[in-house]
Amino acid sequence: MIFRSLLISAASALFSTVALANASQEMKEGDFLDLVDASGHVTVQGNGVAGVNANAKAQGLSSPAIGYWSPEGHCFVMPAPGPCNGVFKQ
């Protein structure tokens, strides 16, 4: 029982660290889609990371996103040449 609690705590801490690491670079598509499908998450689109974060703020969500992704890989390019997607906690 103690081992199970320890394992869950370690997994939660690791997930939090991974989520924060992905807030500064684009995620792989499969990892991003897993977050999109998770309960309690909201997907927001905007022009680059700044646009995603501005749209999320307008919806009452807090930045940074759990993760960012775009098919073209340009979320963190300045100025943003196109749309980017972000996943936020509700």
pLDDT of residue 23: 66
Higher local confidence (pLDDT), 7 or 81 = 81
**Tokens describing residue 55:** 């749209």
Higher local confidence (pLDDT), 34 or 1 = 34
Instruction: Using pLDDT thresholds of 50, 70 and 90, give the confidence band for residue 39.
Output: very high
Quote the mean pLDDT of the chain. Answer: 82
Q: Report long-range pairs for 71-75 (Cβ below 8 Å, ≥24 apart).
A: 71/29, 73/26, 74/48, 75/26, 75/48, 75/49
**Per-domain boundaries in the chain:** 2-89
Find out whether 45 and 84 touch, Cβ atoms under 8 Å: yes
- What average pLDDT does the segment 30-35 reach? 94
pLDDT of residue 8: 55
pLDDT of residue 10: 47
State yes or no: cis peptide before 64, omega within 30 of 0.
yes
